[in-house]
Amino acid sequence: MSYEPTFTPPSGPIIGRRDGRVIRATGIPYATAARFQPPSPAPDRATPLLATSPAPACPQAPVPFLDEVLGTRYGELPGSEDCQNLSITMPADIDPAEKLPVMVWIHGGSYTTGSGDLAIFDSAALAAENRVVVVSVTYRLGLFGFLSTRTGRPGNLGLLDQLEAFRWVQRNISAFGGDPHRVTAFGQSAGGDAIAHLMAVPEAPTLFQRAIIQSAPLGISRGRATMNHAMGIAAESVTEETPAMDVVEIEERVTQVARKFGMRAAMPFGTQYGHHPLPAEAGIEAAWNHTAPGIQVLMGHTSQEARLFLPRNRFLSALERVPVLGKTALRAINWVVTETVYGRASRKFARRHSAAGGTAHHYVLDWHAPGNIYGSAHTIDLPLLFGTKDTWDGVGLIAGATWDEVDAAGQQVRALWAQFAGGAAGSDLGDSGGIPGVLKYRVA
C-alpha cells in the first residue's frame, strides 16, 4: 500500500494510506489524559504523523459471547490507556474542493468493551458508496472512563473524551474533505446513549447538527445514583499506579456490586448525572430542550432487541422448549424487555425533542437472517452498516443469510443513514418512509 495521501490540518501534517475504494488516516490522537483526569486536546505537531496503524483499544476484559455472536476477536487491537484516538475513512476519489458530509461513529459495548477500529466497524462501504467522511472514535471505558468515587475521582471521563473528539473534527476535518457544518453523530447501544447525553451539553449544536441514535438503552439511564455510589466505593482500591489489567479485573468485581439493582445492572457503567459535563438528573430534560432546535434526530431500535441476551439465560432457554406456551412466553418477555429498555424511552425522547423545537424521526428495524435464533436482535444493525463479507462470514448473528442478502439490505440502510447525514439526496426524510423488509420510520 502507498503512504502517499498527505493532509495538512491545523493539528499538524498527517500521512494516510490508500486502501481500495477509500483513503484511511488511522490512530490520530485527539486528546491526552493522565489516569482519572479530564482530557486535554492533543498538542499540535510540526512533524508529519504516519497515521497508518489502528487506534489502540482501552484496556478491557474478554467477552466470549460477543466474540461468538459478532465475530470480534479479543485482542485484535493492542490495548492502551492512551486510547484517545480517532480514525478517518473517506472516498479514494475525493476532490480537494469537495466538502462532504461527516459522520462521527461512537461505538457501543456497555461502556466497558469495544473500540472504534474493530473490524466489525469498518466504514469503507459506508464512505465509498455514499461519499461521506466517516470518523471512528475510541475513548476511555469502564473504570477508566465512567465511574466517579467518593474520593473525588470524576465521572463521565469517556464522555469528555468524546467531546474532545468532536472539537477535533470541527477544527480539522476540512483538511480531509469534510464539511464541519454537516456533522452527524451516530452510535449504537452505549454509543447511542452517549450521543443522547452529549446532546445535553450546551455546546452540542456547534459540534454536530444531526444525530442518529441506534438502540440506546435510555430506559435504564435514570435512577442510577445509588448503584453508582455503591460501585464507586468498591472501586476505591484502584489507584493511579494500579496496573491496567488489574484495573480491568477489579472492574468485574465492581460490576458484581451492581447486580442487586435490577435491570439497571444490565449496563452498570455509564453516564452520571450531576457530573461534568451533565446537569443533575432533575435538569436533564431542560438541557435537552435547550439544544433541540439545533440538532436533527433519527433514532430507534430493533424489533427484538432482547433476543441477543435471552439465549444466554438458562431459565429462558428451558422455557422456550416448553410445548406451545414456551415460545409464546418468550415472545412476551422479549417484548417487555425491548419496550422497557429501548422502545418506550426512545419514542419519548423523540417526541420531547420535537416538542422542544427540534426535528425527530423514529424507526424500528425488523431485518433478520432467516431462521436465526437471534432474530432482529440488539446489534443486528451493525452488519448492515459496517464491515465486509470476510468480517461477518460465519458469525452467529447473521447465520442463515447469504452475504448478498445482508449486503443488499445494508446498502439501503447505509444510503438512508447517509441521506439523513446530508448526502446528495438531502437530509429531509419526509413524514414517514422505510426500506421494505428492513425498517420503517415516521416523524415523531
DSSP characters over 1-66: -----EE--TT--EE-EEETTEEEEEEEE-EE--TTS--EEPPP-SSPEE-BSPPPBPP----HHH
What pLDDT is attached to residue 1?
A: 43
In tens, the pLDDT along 18-32 reads 999 999 999 999 999
In tens, the pLDDT along 298-315 reads 999 999 999 998 766 666
Which of the residue ranges 190-194, 263-267, 329-333 would you say has the lowest mean pLDDT? 329-333
Residues 6+ positions from 137 with CB-CB distance below 8 Å: 30, 86, 104, 105, 106, 107, 116, 161, 162, 165
**Mean pLDDT over residues 163-167, rounded?**
98
Give the count of alpha carbons within 13 A of 124, CB side only: 20
Residue 52 has pLDDT above 70, yes or no: yes
* Domain boundaries defined on the chain: 6-443
Q: Please count the other Cβ atoms lying within 10 Å of the Cβ belonging to residue 322.
A: 12
Q: Where are the alpha helices (DSSP H) in 259-302?
A: 284-291
For CA atoms 332, 337, 340, 343, give the dihedral sign.
Answer: negative
**Mean pLDDT over residues 152-167, rounded?**
96
Nearest CA-CA partner of 125 in 345, 398, 394, 406: 406
Give the count of alpha carbons within 13 A of 370, CB side only: 5
Cα-to-chain-centroid distance, residue 327? 32
Average pLDDT across the chain, whole number = 93
Angle subtended at Cα 277 by Cα 199 and Cα 230, rounded to the nearest 5 degrees = 110
What pLDDT is attached to residue 99?
A: 94
What pLDDT is attached to residue 315?
A: 62
Catalytic residues: 189, 305, 378
- CATH architecture of the domain formed by 6-443: 3-Layer(aba) Sandwich (3.40)
In tens, the pLDDT along 212-263 reads 999 999 999 999 999 999 999 999 999 999 999 999 999 999 999 999 998 8
Q: Residue 211: enclosing H or E segment and its boundaries?
A: strand 210-214
In tens, the pLDDT along 324-372 reads 666 777 788 888 999 999 999 999 999 999 999 999 999 999 999 999 9
Q: Answer whether the bond into residue 268 is a cis peptide, omega within 30°.
A: no
What pLDDT is attached to residue 2?
A: 47
Q: Residue 299: enclosing H or E segment and its boundaries?
A: strand 296-302
Amino acid 12 reads: G
Q: Decide if 217 contacts 193 (C-beta within 8 A).
A: yes
Three-state SS for 298? strand
Amino acid 395 reads: V
Three-state SS for 105? strand
